[in-house]
Amino acid sequence: KENLPFYALEEVGKHTTVESGIWVTYKEGVYDITKFIEGHPGGDQILIAAGSSVEPFWVLYGIHENPHVFDILESYRIGNLNKEDAQHMTADMSDPYSSDPKRHPALKPASAKPFNAECPPSFLVESFYTPNELFYVRNHLPVPEIDPENYELEIYIEGKDKTRVFSLDELKKMPKQTITATIMCAGCRRSEMTKVKPVKGLNWGPAAIGNATWTGVPLREILKLAGVNEDDAKHQHIQFEGVDADVTGKMYGASIPIWKALDKRGDVILAYEMNGVPIPRDHGFPIRVIVPGVVGARNVKWLGKIVVAKDESDSHWQQNDYKGFSPSTDWDTVDFSKSPAIQELPVISAICQPGGGDTVQVQNGRITVKGYAWSGGGQKIVRVDVTADGGKSWHVAKFDHQDSALPPKHWAWTLWSAEIPVENNAKSVEIWAKAVDSCYNTQPESFENIWNLRGVLSNAYHRVRVYLKS
């Protein structure tokens, strides 16, 4: 086949009829399948790929799993795609995830395609700002490839006939704002709730959360430029659409209430930097909306479009997912239209050091425990209580890092530590932690009575059993 001629994709594209010959490509091969189609009634399904690659269709129908098909195709080979075109085709066609970025090996995948991963919890308490490479990744779809030069953000106000478009350059030229905000997935710590009874969802540990600085343009400034009238009551929601799409072309989407977007103190920004560098591809390059205090799912990455609307986003993730239910609601009785979409998250904490099952050195009758605590809606953590004797004695943790922002504008987590006494000669103890926020809301004691079929809002006391070494 090395001796066969090379063709450009453009040339292949001209061969779509029986008269001109029907050509298709597969990886670097070019095939004339005119004879195949003539001889195989029903085989003309493949005409959908005429003049182009058969790969996207084969991926959809799973044909690629049958080696016999390749042999047949190979017998119709007439040439090779020129190098440039071949590279391009094989990269995006055969595996929609093949152009996903490389990840740090410390990120342990809960699912590989789409990529979902968290780092070992012990790393989280090492730094107030979670390093970008260790920040959990929650993707529903392949990571889109966006050329920053051609990036466009569209803004559409319902009832107006013009959309306003911003380039990345235009956004970056506007006055910028930096905030520190923690982002958490609604499913963080789901793996503990699952122990009560199985739930549907990724098996997240306590590290589906991270804290970072985000720099970008205040969303309200962009909305004003686009002509949003704050007093117009017909608009109640701001919808966000990512450019990441599924095979049917449906984009990831979500929405927030308009007050959060327009409130100067809401601090919603269209971010282009994360911890001082351009947002990495996994986290939404080049633009991502940061909605501090609000569940991860509304912090739409790879933002392509904003709609100022009367209604919430009609996307699956706004309507039929990321909602809470009663423990007695099951998949036969659930009615997603009956629960509101999660926005502000409830108070949560977790013990990150030691980890469950670790052996811990006892010093002067005490062990050291470290963790994070955070609450949604801009509430600040006012106390973290830790016990190693089932709640007979509670010890108030010391805050190792907490920023000074006042509630309800306190977007960052608090890192804490505590030295707790343990019983002489005990071989193991169970450590519990619970946090209290500035509304004096605190965490529920157990998962039994907050269990829900999607395993979201999994914020009961965190409990880890550790072994002791004296």
Active site residues: 40, 64, 138, 185, 322
- Give me the 296-315 binding string for ligand MTE, x by CB under 6 A, dash otherwise: xx-xxxx-------------
What is the nearest approach in angstroms of ligand MTE to the Cβ of residue 317? 7
What is the nearest approach in angstroms of ligand MTE to the Cβ of residue 98? 18
Among 96, 284, 296, 455, binds Mo ion (CB under 5 A): 296
Does residue 114 belong to the site contacting Mo ion (CB under 5 A)?
no
What is the nearest approach in angstroms of Mo ion to the Cβ of residue 343? 13
Among 260, 281, 283, 305, binds ligand MTE (CB under 6 A): 283
Q: Which is nearer to Mo ion, 202 or 309 (CB)?
A: 202
Does residue 454 belong to the site contacting Mo ion (CB under 5 A)?
no
Cα pseudo-dihedral 156, 159, 161, 166, rounded to 10: -20
Q: Which is nearer to ligand MTE, 51 or 346 (CB)?
A: 346
Among 15, 138, 380, 462, binds Mo ion (CB under 5 A): 138
Q: Which is nearer to Mo ion, 46 or 184 (CB)?
A: 184
Does residue 130 belong to the site contacting ligand MTE (CB under 6 A)?
no
Residues in 46-105 at the binding interface with ligand MTE, rule: CB under 6 A: none
What is the nearest approach in angstroms of ligand MTE to the Cβ of residue 227? 25
Three-point CA angle 370, 374, 380, nearest 5°: 115
Does residue 185 belong to the site contacting Mo ion (CB under 5 A)?
yes
Q: Which stretch binds Mo ion (CB under 5 A): 34-42, 279-287, 292-300, 438-446?
A: 292-300
Q: Which is nearer to ligand MTE, 29 or 187 (CB)?
A: 187
Do 290 and 215 meet the contact criterion of CB atoms below 8 Å apart? Answer: no
Does residue 252 belong to the site contacting ligand MTE (CB under 6 A)?
yes
Q: Which is nearer to ligand MTE, 208 or 360 (CB)?
A: 208
Question: From the list ligand MTE, Mo ion, none, which binds 283 (C-beta under 5 to 8 Å, kind-based)?
Answer: ligand MTE
Give the per-residue SS3 of the chain.
Answer: CCCCCEECHHHHCCCEECCCEEEEEECCEEEECHHHHHHCCCHHHHHHHCCCECHHHHHHHCHHHCHHHHHHHHCCEEEEECHHHHHHHHHHHCCCCCCCCCCCCCCEEEECCCCEEECCHHHHCCCCCCCHHHCCEECCCCCCCCCCCCCEEEEEECCCCCEEEEEHHHHHHCCCEEEEEEEECCCCCHHHHCCCCCCCCCCCCCCCEEEEEEEEEEHHHHHHHCCCCCCCCCCCEEEEEEEEECCCCCEEEEEEEHHHHHCHHHCCEEEEEECCEECCHHHCCCCEEECCCECHHHCCCCEEEEEEECCCCCCHHHHCCCECCCCCCCCCCCCHHHCCECCECCCEEEEEECCCCCEEECECCEEEEEEEEECCCCCCEEEEEEECCCCCCCEECEEEECCCCCCCCCCCCEEEEEEEECCCCCCEEEEEEEEEECCCCECCCCCCCCCCCCCCCCCCCEEEEEEEEC
Q: Which is nearer to ligand MTE, 301 or 454 (CB)?
A: 301
Q: Which is nearer to ligand MTE, 185 or 217 (CB)?
A: 185
Does residue 138 belong to the site contacting ligand MTE (CB under 6 A)?
yes
Among 100, 118, 192, 244, binds ligand MTE (CB under 6 A): 244
Rg (CA), the chain: 26
- Give me the 411-430 binding string for Mo ion, x by CB under 5 A, dash otherwise: --------------------
- Give me the 155-194 binding string for ligand MTE, x by CB under 6 A, dash otherwise: ----------------------------x-x---------
Which residues of the shown chain bind Mo ion in the complex (CB under 5 A)? 138, 185, 296-297
Which residues of the shown chain bind ligand MTE in the complex (CB under 6 A)? 135-141, 183, 185, 242, 244, 252, 282-283, 296-297, 299-302
